Amino acid sequence: MSKTVLVRNGGFAFRLSRQATFLLQKESTLAMGADILLVDDNGIQAATRKAILSRLGRTIVVAGNGSEALRVLESPSMAGRAVGLVITDHLMPGMNGPEFVAKLRNRFPQLPVLVLSGLAEAEDDYVDLDVTFRMKPMPPEDLLRLVRLLIEQPIARTA
């Protein structure tokens, strides 16, 4: 009997232990709420974060870059769906994080945004863009705790 389960989601596939799968199912019983838009050009990181975030019991929509994320937010398929948080990478091809957030702010000025970056100096690029900036890697439980706070209790942004 296999101790892992193959999970397929979108264009990604990864293996989870049966125990992790049980924990995902158990935590997914949290109240459904706003969707989370995850923006990352790295497929492995996007799939990993999506698996972690799915423990919140919310719908996670993945976009591969800033342009795609803006199209997703304005698409008819999102009509009537509440996006409660955008989580974005900093370095992406085409439109980087600050460019994406600046365009996002023109259309959705109050939408909470979490920027994850491996570059500490990148935080300066988000001055006056009203985001929460955190360094990656970020432990899964820390990410889940912060996402809960950003969605459920508006807090002061750091950049």
State the CATH number of the domain containing residue 102. Answer: 3.40.50.2300
Q: What is the pLDDT of residue 144?
A: 97
> What mean pLDDT do residues 87-101 have?
96
Task: Please list the alpha-helical segments (H only) found in the chain.
Answer: 18-27, 43-53, 66-74, 97-107, 140-152
**In the predicted structure, residue 33 carries a pLDDT above the cut 70:** no
> What mean pLDDT do residues 27-48 have?
75
Quick one: what percent of the chain has pLDDT higher than 90? 65
> What mean pLDDT do residues 108-126 have?
95
Domain contains 157: no
In which domain, by residue range, is 136 found? 4-8+11-152
